[in-house]
């Protein structure tokens, strides 16, 4: 917890789409108990079942801020002439402020304002769902702030970057075995992976 480096295991490849069940299998069978017992938190991008996954292994749960803001940005709109632009922009800015909030008073005020804004008829249904998910799982989005001694990142950025590098080479190989060998070589060729902890400034 005192370093900005991530230790990366050799990759595995399972059939089908990403799921909580697949992650459960990987964590249960491929992470040594000596490592698993030292983990305090799961940082996830919000896949279905991630809360239960963390609970199953006795870990705390940190949700990724980048994925949350990305989903809002896709629906935020950039033109003021867009229907409901004012409420969309207000929600986006309030969500950003809520993720940075350090005091209970400010947190409560922003949650109330977000609830009110999301109920306005100009607010698109999908944005309302995102806001509801944020409020319902607020403790998971703010774990890195409430437990600063763990030096948690508030994004899955290091894994997203690594995934992009590996995906870029998928077209260069022809079999699953070749993909695993190539991905392993990519990972092991990197001297280190930087995983920046979250640094909060007072409001």
pLDDT score of 203:
43
The first and second tokens of residue 12, run together, are: 């595995």
Provide the terminal-to-terminal Cα distance of the chain, rounded to the nearest Å.
25
Q: Across residues 55-81, what is the average pLDDT?
A: 88
For the segment 112-136, the average pLDDT, to the nearest whole number, is 95
pTM exceeds 0.75 for this model: yes
- Sign of the Cα torsion 141, 142, 145, 151 reads negative
Pairing between strand 5-6 and 193-194?
Answer: antiparallel
Can you tell me the mean pLDDT for 153-179?
Answer: 87
Per-residue pLDDT averaged across 32-59, rounded? 90
Task: Report whether pLDDT(145) > 60.
Answer: yes
Mean pLDDT of 177-196: 88
For the ranges 3-7, 30-34, 93-97, the lowest mean pLDDT is seen at 3-7
- Indicate the pLDDT class of residue 75, thresholds 50, 70 and 90: confident
Q: Which two tokens stand for residue 99?
A: 């993720």
Confidence at 80, pLDDT banded by 50, 70, 90? low
Q: What are phi and psi of 83, to 5 degrees?
A: -60, 125
In angstroms, the CA 31 to CA 28 distance is 7
pLDDT(202) > 70: no
Least confident range from 90-94, 99-103, 197-201: namely 197-201
- Residue 14 reports pLDDT greater than 70: yes
């Amino acid at each position: 917890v005192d370093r900005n480096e991530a230790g990366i295991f050799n990759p595995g490849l399972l059939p089908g789409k990403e799921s909580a069940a697949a992650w459960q299998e990987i964590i249960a069978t491929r992470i040594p108990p000596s490592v698993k017992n030292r983990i305090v938190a799961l940082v996830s991008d919000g896949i279905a079942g991630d809360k239960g996954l963390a609970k199953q292994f006795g870990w705390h749960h940190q949700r990724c801020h980048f994925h949350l803001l990305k989903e809002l940005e896709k629906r935020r709109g950039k033109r003021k002439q867009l229907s409901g632009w004012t409420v969309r922009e207000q929600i986006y800015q309030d969500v950003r402020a809520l993720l940075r909030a350090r005091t209970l008073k400010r947190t409560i005020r922003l949650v109330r304002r977000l609830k009110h804004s999301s109920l306005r008829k100009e607010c698109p249904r999908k944005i309302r769902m995102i806001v509801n998910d944020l409020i319902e799982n607020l403790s998971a989005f703010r774990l890195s702030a409430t437990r600063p001694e763990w030096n948690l990142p508030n994004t899955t950025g290091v894994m997203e970057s690594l995934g992009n590098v590996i995906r870029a080479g998928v077209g260069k190989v022809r079999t699953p075995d070749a993909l695993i060998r190539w991905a392993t070589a990519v990972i092991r060729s990197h001297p280190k992976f930087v995983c920046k902890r979250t640094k909060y400034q007072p409001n």
